[in-house]
Amino acid sequence: MFKKTLIPVLLAAALGGCVSQGTYNQEVQTANTYAAQSQAYQALNAKLQQEIQADQVRIKELQGRLTVTLIDEIVFSSGSAQMNAKGRETLEKIVATLQSVTDKRIVVRGYTDNEPIGYELRQRYPTNWELSTARSSDVVRFLQAKGIDPNRLEASGFGEYQPVASNATPAGRRENRRIEIVLTDMNF
């Protein structure tokens, strides 16, 4: 009787530690994705070292996403929806890395502070929402012109509605004026 009970228990314990081939393949794919993402992180970090040290660019990996944050006027001069020379130069440094991560969607997100738009710019962009969207679209057009597949690109604007700091101070407003380039799974 002891043998009859022991064999099913041992068999169940042995099988409990096994995984299906599908689960194994999924885990291997996830590990490979994280390794490729980490390589992209390291490449971006190396290419943008000067901007990172000047606190104009931040790079982070979190929950399967790689985010490059371009802060304040590194990409757009105040009151402009067209990239400045420094912005084009900075993006030029990362184009090859963005092209190499072909299994990722590139989402460009524009943000602003809550300061009203100046009179001249207001004629074309009535609110910060339209301005932030125009800025992210300008970055997307630049990346497409540099050879990145437009099927992988997405532009969105959030205006002043997702601040990362208080708009009550100049330093906080500086943090809120940003462009984020997010590498995420193609399915999202």
Region for residue 57 given its phi and psi (left: phi exceeds 0; alpha: psi -120 to 50; beta: otherwise)? beta
In the chain, the domains with their CATH numbers are 22-185 (3.30.1330.60)
What's residue 2's pLDDT?
Answer: 47
Give the predicted TM-score (pTM) of the model. 0.79
C-beta of residue 181 within 8 angstroms of C-beta of residue 70: yes
What's residue 186's pLDDT?
Answer: 86
What's residue 11's pLDDT?
Answer: 46
Distance CA 106, CA 165 (A): 24
Q: Residues of the chain whose pLDDT is less than 50?
A: 1-3, 9-11, 13
What's residue 166's pLDDT?
Answer: 97
